[in-house]
Amino acid sequence: MGFTLSDIQNKDMELRVNAWNWRPTIELIRVSGILDDQLLNWMAYNAEAEITQEQAKAIGTYIQQEILPSLDNNTHIDYDLNITSEIDTFELHREDLQKNYNINPEWLAKFVHFCFTCNGFKVL
């Protein structure tokens, strides 16, 4: 299952993300306190949650200033938001599904860029 982040004004501007990366990204946004829980829950279920331009820029700023400086190319953030350097083998962990979810600096940099350049976005 995947998600599409679609610019509110420019339908040609979008960012696609898989569920394995999106779910922990939502949790990262949750701890920032920028969005309320109801909106965050909608973002997790393709419920056409709408993020304003102001909110998108605040999310981008938070990740750029508070999260990315803690990461390097050999680390990622797992579902419970721990930073780890454990290598992701892309093996499907059926016994503990949370082990399948993680976000790396490359994804976060793309997401931050999208947050700074969009006019707000919908999660589809």
User: Which domain range does residue 89 map to?
Assistant: 2-123
Query: What percent of the chain has a predicted confidence (pLDDT) above 90?
Result: 70
**Phi, psi angle pair for 55, to nearest 5°:** -65, -40
Count: domains in the chain: 1
Between residues 72 and 1, the one the model is more confident about: 72
Tokens of 26: 């939502």
Q: pLDDT tens, 47-98?
A: 889 999 999 999 999 999 999 999 998 898 988 888 877 766 566 545 655 5
Stretch 36-53: mean pLDDT, rounded? 92
DSSP for 27-76, please give it: HHHHHHTSS-HHHHHHHTTTS-EEE-HHHHHHHHHHIIIIIGGG--TT-E
